[in-house]
Amino acid sequence: MQQVIDHDAVQIDHELVEQAHVLRQRAHSLREQARSLTSPLAAAYRRRASELEFEAWVSELQSGLPYDEVVPAA
């Protein structure tokens, strides 16, 4: 038996989409700040930015967005 999925019936959780947007903005901010910091601290900022981008990616996947609209994690 073939399963039919009605993509129009999938509901998108806009709160999770907004959360992903905020997380990506914070990640971008940390990467910008890392440019003017000493090496160990800059590495920590970039690492945290990557963690935030991954969390944003997971939020978008959980939100119900179509996969082609989900921004890949860094």
Q: What is the pLDDT of residue 5?
A: 46
Tens-binned pLDDT, residue by residue, of the chain (74 aa): 454 445 566 788 999 999 999 999 999 999 999 999 999 999 999 999 999 999 999 999 999 999 888 888 76
For the entire predicted model, the pTM comes to 0.81
The C-alpha atoms of residue 44 and residue 55 are separated, in whole angstroms, by 17
Domain that residue 50 falls in: 36-64
Residue 45 lies in a domain: yes
Number of structural domains (the chain) is: 1
Q: What is the pLDDT of residue 21?
A: 96
Residue 72 lies in a domain: no
Residue 46 lies in a domain: yes
The C-alpha atoms of residue 28 and residue 26 are separated, in whole angstroms, by 5
Q: What is the pLDDT of residue 50?
A: 96
